[in-house]
Chains A and B, each alone.
Chain A
Amino acid sequence: EVQLVESGGGLVQPGGSLRLSCAASGFTFSSYWMHWVRQAPGKGLVWVSRINSDGSSTSYADSVKGRFTISRDNAKNTLYLQMNSLRAEDTAVYYCAREGVDIVATRLASYYYYYMDVWGKGTTVTVSS
């Protein structure tokens, strides 16, 4: 079964740090790009970060750039999110998600689609004094 399981959430004081983990199973983790997405209490989904399959390329939302670092260990089938200088507004459920890809071929062309096709159940981060 394809599965993502997040861990590492908890209560942390403003200015503190936390490292989230996402354990992948049931698929070839090293072949997929991965994401972190968060959801503040009662709010919508917000994309946080993305990493390519070998970890050599990363991107971040402006709100976390310079404070959060995404990384992965393909030997351990695990995705990470190192969160530093945490703020109250970082309080959220953090989901990891797999980036799936599909190729739809028509008579005229082929189209590549990239989307988040597998999600974990999330881990809760609370930033409060």
Chain B
Amino acid sequence: QSVLTQPPSVSGAPGQRVTISCTGSSSNIGAGYDVHWYQQLPGTAPKLLIYGNSNRPSGVPDRFSGSKSGTSASLAITGLQAEDEADYYCQSYDSSSWVFGGGTKLTVL
């Protein structure tokens, strides 16, 4: 059971917009800790996608955006492409530990 809750799966057609939620509590996201997002393509290592709630590392397309409000955060992907099919993880901080969400599998229909 992950401290941060994500939907197990989301899907969308090419060109559409999808969002992935990450729900925490008053001891992690709600306490003001930042949320970061990682993308894990099939069979590969995770890759940093969004840091500090809404900042994109260089090289990450602006189709990816993040936001945070209260005890939750969201990752939005616009203009969905086939290569976006992957697992997505949110990550924050709680009780002296770094914590991840359970992950969301994005399927591009």
Interchain CB contact under 8 A, B89 and A113? no
Q: Which residue of B lies closest to A99 (CB)?
A: B98
Which residues of A are at the interface with B, using a C-beta cutoff of 8 A?
35, 37, 44-47, 50, 59, 61-62, 95, 97, 100, 102, 104, 111, 113-117, 119-122
A5 to chain B, nearest CB (A): 11
B64 to chain A, nearest CB (A): 15
Interchain CB contact under 8 A, A45 and B51? no
A114 to chain B, nearest CB (A): 8
Q: State in angstroms the CA–CA spacing of A61 and B94 once bound together.
A: 11
- Tell me what chain A mostly uses at the interface: helix, strand, loop, or mixed: strand
Q: Which residue of A lies closest to B95 (CB)?
A: A62
Given the known interface contacts A50-B98, A59-B96, the answer about A115 and B36 at a Cβ–Cβ threshold of 8 Å is yes
Contact of B51 among A35, A47, A102, A122 (CB under 8 A): A102
Q: Which of B13-21, B40-48, B74-82 lines the interface with chain A?
A: B40-48
A53 to chain B, nearest CB (A): 17
Interchain CB contact under 8 A, B103 and A102? no
Interchain CB contact under 8 A, A102 and B55? yes
Q: Report A-chain residues with C-beta under 8 Å of the C-beta of B7.
A: none
Closest 5 CB pairs of A and B: A113-B52, A44-B103, A47-B98, A115-B51, A115-B36
Residue B102 at the A interface, CB < 8 A? yes
Q: State in angstroms the CA–CA spacing of A102 and B102 once bound together.
A: 25
B86 to chain A, nearest CB (A): 13
Interface string of B88-109 (1 = CB under 8 A from A): 0101000011111111000000
Interchain CB contact under 8 A, A111 and B99? no
Interface string of B45-72 (1 = CB under 8 A from A): 1111001100101000000000000000
Interchain CB contact under 8 A, A116 and B36? yes
Q: State in angstroms the CA–CA spacing of A44 and B8 once bound together.
A: 10
Given the known interface contacts A119-B45, A120-B45, the answer about A113 and B51 at a Cβ–Cβ threshold of 8 Å is yes
